[in-house]
Amino acid sequence: MVSKWQKGLWAVVVACVTLAFTIVPGFLVAQPSSSIDLSSAGLSLEQVADRVYALVGQGDIPAEGDVSFVNAGFVIGSEGVLVIDTFSSPKLAELMFAQIKSLTDKPIRYVLNTHYHPDHTGGNSVPASLGIPIVGRGQIRELMAKANPQLVPPNIIINSETDFWLGDRHVRVERVEGHTKGTDVVAYVPEARVLFAGDMVFNQRFPYTGDGSIKNWQGSLYRLLVSYPDAKVVPGHGNVGDVSIMRAQLGYFNFLEQLALSWKSKGLSKEQAIAQSQEIPEAYKDYKFQALYAGNPGLQNNLDSAYDQFSRSLGIPLIP
């Protein structure tokens, strides 16, 4: 069954994009051309720490051509490589694999999907074709099949904290909650103090909130801040930063919560509340992904989520 927010997203596609794009839950993902490089893909390769890299996408949504709006990364150990996410398409995944090959002769041992959304799993066919194990959490296989039956799902499922050893490198993968319903994970490299946060963190971008629980998301961010106070953070979207980018996202969620409580204290209907709050606040005017703030009618956006998810009284974030 297609959900309300997916139907709304279809309406957006019909209205404002061409056949150059394909639909995925939550985002518009471009179909890559036959040949791309980092520059044409809008990607920069950033060394976050010794043998820890991020490919950072600078695109906006809806996507334009081959320009990526998604981040991925990889960790190199003495006996192999762990890849974190595969972008939105096989072409972008192939581009990342070529970058890895240029940096090391170590084999890719595992690919980790930080959650099920196709903008992060659309390139899974590349490692699958090479016989590389793909790791995901919870109901990720089922949710990917519903999102797009052509996507290649993980073939290893984890449901608790899991340690990956790449010879001399250790990567800890742990569950978090909030962005999706039970498929979110983060990956931490203790030696390098690098946290691959997936879509738990959107840096200078409006987050997609129509597929999970903001309250759980707040709780997970609080826990990550306590657990990794000095980490370098690779977000799912936006530039690499320190833990201040997690605090900024918490601040944005707190803004949404206070806004929702003010609507309900005035007895506003959802339609009334959203109609009077369309303008993006000054503090967030430079954010990308602006369609996810108020968006289009029928598309589950941040204001919809705030009205639907926050109760009439200030609650304590749930710590998953």
pLDDT tens, position by position, 112-165: 999 999 999 999 999 999 999 999 999 999 999 999 999 999 999 999 999 999
Tell me: the pLDDT tens digits for 91-111?
A: 999 999 999 999 999 999 999
- At 64, the pLDDT band (50, 70, 90 cuts) reads confident
CB-based burial, 226-238: b 16+ in 10 Å, e otherwise = eebeebbbbbbbb
Angstrom distance (rounded) from CA 121 to CA 114: 9
The helix (run of H) or strand (run of E) holding residue 257 is helix 244-265
Which residues, other chains included, contact 302 with Cβ-Cβ below 8 Å and sequence gap of 6+? 206, 207, 209, 256, 292, 293, 294
The helix (run of H) or strand (run of E) holding residue 132 is none
Residue where the block lists tokens 């909650």: 177
In this model, does residue 313 exceed pLDDT 90?
Answer: no
What are the sequence ranges of the domains in the chain? 4-255
- At 298, the pLDDT band (50, 70, 90 cuts) reads low
- Of the candidates 194, 182, 181, 253, the residue with the CA atom closest to the CA atom of residue 224: 194
Mean of the per-residue pLDDT values of the chain: 88
Angstrom distance (rounded) from CA 147 to CA 145: 6
The pLDDT value given to residue 17: 27
Tell me how crowded residue 23 is: count the other CB atoms within 10 A of its CB: 18
Angstrom distance (rounded) from CA 311 to CA 306: 9
The pLDDT value given to residue 81: 99
- At 299, the pLDDT band (50, 70, 90 cuts) reads low
Residue where the block lists tokens 């709006």: 69
The pLDDT value given to residue 281: 96
In this model, does residue 303 exceed pLDDT 70?
Answer: yes
The pLDDT value given to residue 295: 76
Fold observed for domain 4-255: Metallo-beta-lactamase; Chain A (3.60.15)
Determine the length of the chain. 320
Question: Who has greater pLDDT, 14 or 304?
Answer: 304
In this model, does residue 9 exceed pLDDT 80?
Answer: no
- The whole-number average pLDDT for the span 223-234 is 98
